[in-house]
Amino acid sequence: MWIYEKMLEYPVKIKNPNPKMAKIIITQYGGPDGELGAALRYLSQRFSMITPQAIGTLNDIGTEELAHLEMVGAMVRQLLKGASLEEIEKAGMSAYYADHDRGVYPASASGVPFSAAGIQSKGDPIVDLTENLAAEQKARATYEYLINMADDPDVIEPLKFLREREVVHFQRFGEALRIVQDYLQEPHLFIMPKPDFLNK
Partner 1 sequence: MKNENERFDLLKRLTAARFMVEDLHLYLDTHPNDREAIAKFNSYLMQTKKLRESYEKSYGMLTAHDSFSQYPWQWINEPWPWDYEANFELNRGEN
Task: Label each residue of 129-160 as H, E or C.
Answer: HHHHHHHHHHHHHHHHHHHHHCCCHHHHHHHH
Rounded CA separation 73/7 (Å): 13
CB atoms within 10 A of CB 158: 23
Total of chain residues touching partner 1, rule CB under 8 A:
34
Report the residue from 4, 86, 117, 199 that binds partner 1 according to the rule CB under 8 A: 4
Picked from partner 1, Fe ion, none, the partner binding residue 172 (CB below 5 to 8 A depending on kind) is partner 1
> Closest by alpha carbon to 75, among 34, 140, 22, 9?
22
Residues 132-171 as x/- pattern, contact with Fe ion by CB under 5 A: ----------------------------------x--x--
The Cα angle at residue 89 between residues 87 and 91, in degrees rounded to 5: 70
Instruction: Mark residue 123 as left, alpha or beta (left: phi above 0; alpha: psi -120 to 50; beta: remaining).
Output: left
Chosen from partner 1, Fe ion, none, partner binding at 132 (C-beta under 5 to 8 Å by type): none
- For the bound state, the minimum distance from the C-beta of residue 32 to partner 1, rounded and expressed in Å, comes to 23
Contact partner at residue 198 from Fe ion, partner 1, none, CB < 5 to 8 Å by partner kind: none
Check residue 92 for interaction with partner 1 (CB under 8 A). no
Map residues 99-128 to x or -, x wherever contact with partner 1 holds by CB under 8 A: ------------------------------
Please choose, out of 23-31, 51-59, 121-129, 141-149, the segment that lies near partner 1 by the rule CB under 8 A.
Answer: 51-59
Beta carbons of 29 and 69 less than 8 angstroms apart: yes
5 known ligand binder: no
The dihedral built from the CA positions of residue 192, 193, 196 and 199, taken in this order, carries a sign that is: positive
Q: Under the criterion CB under 8 A, does residue 93 sit at the interface with partner 1?
A: no
| DSSP bridge pairs for 107 | 113
* Strand (E) or helix (H) holding 92: none
CB 16 within 8 A of CB 23: no
Which residues contact Fe ion by CB under 5 A? 166, 169
Residue numbers belonging to the annotated binding site: 35, 60, 65, 68, 136, 169
Which residues contact partner 1 by CB under 8 A? 3-15, 52-53, 56-57, 60-61, 64, 70, 73-74, 77-78, 81, 153, 157, 168-169, 172, 175-176, 179
